[in-house]
A and B are shown apart, each in its own frame.
Chain A
Amino acid sequence: MSQPLLQVDNLAKRFEGIVATDDLSLGVAAGELHAVIGPNGAGKTTLISQLAGQLTPDSGRIHFEGRDITALPMYRRSSLGLARSFQITSLFLDLSVLDNVALAVQAHAGHSFRFWRNARSEAVLREPARAALERVGLGGRADLPASALSHGEHRQIELAMALVGAPRMLLLDEPMAGLGPEESARMVEMLRALKKEVTILLVEHDMEAVFALADRITVLVYGRVIASGAPAEIRANAAVREAYLGEAEAEGAGHV
C-alpha cells in the first residue's frame, strides 16, 4: 500500500485503570471505506475521539496525509480535511437546519471576526449549505428549526455538515444508530455514493451495512486490534467469529 491517507501507530489511552485503547495500529488508504467494528466497550468511540482531537492519546502517533496530527487541537483538524460526525446527535438544535449547515460552511470561509453584515443574507454561506442539504435529501426542510426534525433526519444533517468542508476524509461514528430499516437503507445508499469522493473511516454496529460498504474491516476488542483485512477474510477469521460475529450468527443474521 502506498502511503496511507490516515496512519495510526501504537495508539494507547487509559482512563483511571481502564484500558480504552491498547497499542492500536491501523492504516486507511485514500479512497477506501474502512470499517471499524467490535463489541460494546471495544473503544471505538474513544478511537474516533482521538482521531478527531477531542481526546489526547497517552502514547502513539496519528499521521494524516503524512503529517503528524497527534497533538493538533480539534478545530484545526477540519481545516486539514479531516471531518467528523458524532455518534450521539450533536447539532445546534435551537438554530434552523440551514443555520446548522451554514455554520459548517462558515468554518471554512476565513475568519469570522466580521461584525456587521447579516450572516443569514450571505449567499457565499447559504448557497453551499442549501446544496449540501439537497444532496442528503433535506432540501425542503432547510428552514425549519433543527429540533423539529426526526432522528433519522438529524443524521442526514450531520452528514451534510461533514460534507460541506469538502473533506478528504470522514470519520463517521455510528451514523446508522437509531435508524429504522428504511432510513438505514437510505443512509447506506448515500454512503455508497459518498465513497466515490471521500475516504471514510466508519465505526458501525450494523453488520449488513458494514459488509455492504466496507473495502477493509478492522476488528477491535477491548481497545486492541484482533484482525484487519478484506471483508471475506474477516468473515472467515475464527477469532473474530468467536469474539463477535458468533453472537450475530446466533441471532440469525443473514450473510451475503
Chain B
Amino acid sequence: MTGLTPRNFFVAALLVFLIVLPVYAGIAGKPFLITLFTRIIVLAMAAVSLNLIMGYGGMVSFGHAIYIGIGGYVVGILAQEGFLSGFLQWPAALLVSGLFAATIGALCLRTRGVYFIMITLAFAQLLYYVAVGLDRYGGDDGLTMYTRSEFVRPLNMSNKTQFYYVCLILLFGVMALVWKVINSRFGMVIQGSRSNDLRMQAIGFPTYRYRLVCFIIAGMICGLAGALLANHTEFVSPAMMHWTRSGDLIIMVVLGGMASVVGPVIGAVALLVLEEVLSGVTEYWQIILGPMLLLVVLFARGGIDGLLAKVGTKVRR
C-alpha cells in the first residue's frame, strides 16, 4: 500500500521521531531517553530478524534470543581476552552466530509446526545451560565489559549519541536488507514455503535449503543485535538468551505486526515504552501483558500495523 495513508503517515512519523530523538532529548534535558531508545532500537533489530523467519517464513522460533546471547558473548569474550577492535568483534559476532544458526537450523528445520516450536525452545534451554557453564566468563553471574568496541577515531562507541546513531543506521540498513530479500526470488520461495511448503516441493523447490539459509541470515542479524546490546549494557550474561527473552521478541513481532518489515519495530517501541511507563505505576504491570497478547492474537492478528491499515480503509470509505 503506497501513498499517504494514515498507516504510512504513522510509520514515517515514527522513523522521523527516531532520527531526531537525541536532539529532542538534548533540548528537553532527558538524556535517559537516548539510553532507553538505544535499547529499543537494538531489540527492534532483533525483532525484525525474527520476523524474517517467523512472519515471512512461518518458522516460529522460541529460541531466537540465543543469537543475542551469542553475539554478546563473542564481543564480551573477545574484549576480556584483549581483542578490543570492533572491526574484529562485530564480524566475529556475525560469523559465530551464523555458524550456530547453521547447525541448529540444520537440525530443527527437519521438523515443522508444533515440533519446530518445541525444538527451538529446547535448544534455547541447552545453550542457556552452556552459557551458565562458562565459568571463565562469569557463568551465571555474567561478564562485565570494561571497554566498548573500538573503531577508528572520531567514532567513539562510549559516546551515547554517536552509539545511538550507529545503532539506528544499522537498524535502517537491516530493514532495507530484509525488504530486499523478501521481495527477491529467494524471498518468494520463503513466502511460498510458509504458505504451502508441500506445494512448493511439488512444483520443484528443495525448500529445506532455502529455509536454512533464511534461518542463518536471521541468526546473523540477531547476533549483530547482540553485539550492539553488549556494548550498550557493557554486560553480558546467560539471562540475555533465556527463552523468555525469545518470548519478548515474539511479543514484539506479533504486537507490532508480522506482515511488514516495520511492524516489529512498531512492536518493539510499543512494548518497551509500555514497560517503561507502566513499571513506574505498578510493579505488577506484567499481568496485563499476558491477556493483552491473547487479545491481540484473537482479535487483532495483524498487530498495531494491521489495525492502522484498517483505519485507513475505514476513513476512505
Interface residues of chain A, those whose CB is within 8 Å of chain B, are 52, 54, 73-79, 83-84, 86, 90-95, 99, 102-104, 106-108, 112-120, 122, 125, 161, 165
Contacts and interface: CB of A to CB of B under 8 A. Distances in A.
B185 A114 contact: yes
A93 B203 contact: no
3 closest A-B pairs by CB: A107-B204, A78-B204, A92-B195
Interface string B180-202: 11011111110110011011111
Contacts of A161: 203
Contact of A165 (B200, B204, B213): B204
B205 A95 contact: no
B173 interface: no
Given A75-B204, A78-B203, A107-B205, A91 B180 contact: no
A143 to B, nearest CB: 14
Contact of A115 (B186, B191, B195, B202): B186
B201 A74 contact: yes
Given A90-B196, A91-B196, A99-B188, A112 B205 contact: yes
A94 B186 CA distance: 17
Given A92-B195, A112-B210, A117 B203 contact: no
Nearest to B206: A75
A185 B183 CA distance: 38
A112 B187 CA distance: 9
Interface in B273-290: none
A113 B191 CA distance: 14
Contacts of B185: 106, 112-114, 117, 119, 122, 125
B35 interface: no
Given A75-B206, A112-B205, A115-B181, A103 B198 contact: no
B201 A75 contact: yes
B207 interface: yes
B102 to A, nearest CB: 15
Nearest to B183: A118
17 contacts: A52-B202, A54-B198, A74-B202, A75-B202, A78-B204, A92-B196, A94-B195, A95-B191, A103-B188, A104-B203, A112-B188, A113-B186, A113-B213, A115-B187, A119-B183, A122-B185, A165-B204
B198 A75 contact: no
Nearest to A85: B202
Given A106-B189, A112-B189, A117-B184, A54 B202 contact: yes
A110 B164 CA distance: 42
A16 B213 CA distance: 36
A113 B205 CA distance: 11
Nearest to B181: A115
A90 B199 contact: yes
- Which has the most chain B C-beta neighbours within 10 Å: A73, A107, A112, A118? A112
Nearest to B188: A119
A67 to B, nearest CB: 16
A108 B183 contact: no
A90 B187 CA distance: 20
A75 B184 contact: no
Interface in B161-184: 180-181, 183-184
Contacts of B205: 75, 107, 112
Contact of B203 (A103, A113, A122): A103
Contacts of A91: 196, 199
B31 to A, nearest CB: 39
B184 A78 contact: no
A92 B199 contact: yes
A102 B185 CA distance: 10
A119 B203 contact: no
A240 to B, nearest CB: 31
Given A74-B202, A117-B185, 9 more contacts: A73-B206, A83-B203, A92-B196, A103-B188, A104-B203, A108-B204, A114-B185, A115-B187, A125-B185
Contacts of A79: 204
Contacts of B192: 92, 95, 103
A108 B185 CA distance: 12
A165 B205 CA distance: 13
Contacts of A99: 188
B186 A114 contact: yes
Contacts of B186: 112-115
Contacts of B181: 115
A76 B204 CA distance: 6
A213 to B, nearest CB: 23
B97 to A, nearest CB: 18
Contacts of A125: 185
Given A107-B203, A107-B204, A165-B203, A114 B184 contact: yes
A88 to B, nearest CB: 11
B33 to A, nearest CB: 36
B180 A116 contact: yes
A62 B199 CA distance: 21
A122 B186 CA distance: 13
Nearest to B190: A112
B195 A120 contact: no
Contacts of B213: 113
